């Protein structure tokens, strides 16, 4: 009993340590500006699910965009525009950001959020099913960074399109690829099947160098990051 309590408190202490670390990193490196805060508030007010990326993930997307000198960025799955604002802010003047969103209500919120954040000049929201919109983007390729964060079953198809619309040195990021370890197990549903297949593909495709990073939800979920090899 005493043993159990002390073990529990040690686990609680470790959880608290992790939360403190995440808080400190967020404050020091990934503070939200008014544009980001406004996008979150508007999305919440409209009743959208709170499934946007974390500030740390947003800052990592910016870092990756700058690392590959991104001028053109593509996002699949906009929600309320939160990740889009992080990405658009990493672009130089004349840079261009395109985000694909199936839900017209979400898309309208995204346009407002982008206007409020002052990034309307370099952003475009396209409404439709991503798999219908992606073939229309070949004229605008290559994209330097592609961020996949929409419905999970077609993740492997989104990867095919990302490879098609990229260049050597482009960076492909996909959210939610860990899912408490389910991203590496025998899938129990269609969504996880898409994620598991995505992980298997990026881990073995010779065109890519890839890594899953557990940086979200208390280190239980996160990004799959791939660079297209030269």
In the complex, which residues of this chain contact ligand DHB (CB under 6 A)? 51, 149, 175-176
Q: Which stretch binds Mg ion (CB under 5 A): 101-109, 149-157, 189-197, 215-223?
A: 149-157
Residues sharing a CB contact under 8 Å with residue 175, sequence separation 6 or more, in sequence order = 53, 57, 147, 148, 149, 216, 222, 223
For ligand DHB, the closer of residues 122 and 177 by Cβ is 177
Provide the H-helix boundaries in the chain. Answer: 2-29, 34-45, 55-67, 82-89, 104-117, 130-133, 155-164, 190-204
Residues in the chain: 230
44 binds, among ligand DHB, Mg ion, ligand SAH, none (CB under 5 to 8 A by kind): none
Cis peptide bond prior to 142, omega within 30° of 0: yes
> In this structure, are strands 123-127 and 72-76 parallel, antiparallel, or unpaired?
unpaired
Q: How far is the CB of 125 from ligand DHB (least distance, A)?
A: 17
Supply the minimum distance, in Å, between the C-beta of residue 160 and Mg ion. Answer: 19
CB of 207: closest distance to ligand SAH in angstroms?
Answer: 24
Which is closer to Mg ion, CB of 52 or CB of 123?
52
CB-wise, 156 or 169, nearer to ligand SAH?
156
Q: Taking CB under 5 A as the rule, does residue 149 contact Mg ion?
A: yes
Q: Minimal distance in Å, beta carbon 100 to ligand SAH? A: 5
In three-state secondary structure terms, 69 is coil
Cα 165 to chain centroid distance, Å, stands at 17
Could you list the residues that contact Mg ion (CB under 5 A)? Answer: 149, 175-176
């Amino acid at each position: 009993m005493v043993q159990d309590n002390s073990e529990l408190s040690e686990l609680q202490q470790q959880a608290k340590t992790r939360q403190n670390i995440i808080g400190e990193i967020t404050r020091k490196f990934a503070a939200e500006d008014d544009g980001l805060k406004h996008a979150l508030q508007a999305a919440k007010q409209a009743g959208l699910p709170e499934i946007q990326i974390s500030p740390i993930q947003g800052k990592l997307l910016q870092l990756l965009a700058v690392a590959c000198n991104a001028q053109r960025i593509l996002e699949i799955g906009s929600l309320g525009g939160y990740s889009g604002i992080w990405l658009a802010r990493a672009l130089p003047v004349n840079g261009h950001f395109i985000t694909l969103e199936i839900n017209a209500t979400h898309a309208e919120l995204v346009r407002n959020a982008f206007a409020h954040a002052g990034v309307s000049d370099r952003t475009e929201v396209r409404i439709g099913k991503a798999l219908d919109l992606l073939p229309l983007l070949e004229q605008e390729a290559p994209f330097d960074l592609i961020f996949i964060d929409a419905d999970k079953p077609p993740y492997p198809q989104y990867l095919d399109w990302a490879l098609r619309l990229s260049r050597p040195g482009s960076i492909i990021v996909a959210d939610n690829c860990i899912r408490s370890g389910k991203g590496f197990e025998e899938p129990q549903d269609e969504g996880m099947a898409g994620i598991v297949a995505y992980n298997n593909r990026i881990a073995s495709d010779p065109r890519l160098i890839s890594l899953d990073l557990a940086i979200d939800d208390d280190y239980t979920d996160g990004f799959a990051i791939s660079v297209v090899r030269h």
